[in-house]
Amino acid sequence: MTTTNLTSWSTMTSNTTEPLTGITCLSTTSCVAVGEAGTIDVLNGTTWTVTSTTLGSSAFLAGVTCVTANVCYTVGKQGVTLGFDSTNVSGTVTEQAGGGTTQTMESISCTSASTCETVGGAGTILGTTNGGQTWLPQTSGSTATLEGVSCSGSDCVAVGTTGTILGSTNGGASWTAQTSGVTVTLEGEGPKRWTGEER
Condensed to tens digits (0 to 9), the pLDDT of residues 101-112 reads: 999 999 999 999
C-alpha distances (whole Å) from 23 to each of 40, 75, 99, 140 are 10, 12, 23, 25
Nearest to 117 by CA among 57, 157, 83, 72: 157
Domains in the chain, number: 2
Domain boundary residue, one of 95, 130, 148: 95
Cβ contact 128:137 at 8 Å: no
Residues 83 and 30 placed together within one structural domain of the fold: yes
Q: In whole angstroms, give the CA distance from residue 22 to residue 148.
A: 11
Q: In whole angstroms, give the CA distance from residue 115 to residue 189.
A: 17
Nearest to 31 by CA among 64, 6, 76, 55: 64
Q: In whole angstroms, give the CA distance from residue 108 to residue 77.
A: 13
* Residue 170, in any domain of the structure: yes
List helix spans (H) across the chain: 89-92
Nearest to 98 by CA among 126, 122, 63: 126
In the prediction, which pLDDT does 195 show? 38
Residues 87 and 41 placed together within one structural domain of the fold: yes
Residue 118 sits in which domain range? 111-189
Residues 11 and 75 placed together within one structural domain of the fold: yes
In the prediction, which pLDDT does 5 show? 84
Residues 12 and 82 placed together within one structural domain of the fold: yes
Task: Calculate ∠ Cα 154-143-194, nearest 5°.
Answer: 50
Mean pLDDT of the region 21-48: 95
With a cut of 70, say whether residue 33 has pLDDT above it.
Answer: yes
Residues 81 and 118 placed together within one structural domain of the fold: no
Q: What is the DSSP letter of 78?
A: G
pTM of the model: 0.91
Cβ contact 135:117 at 8 Å: no
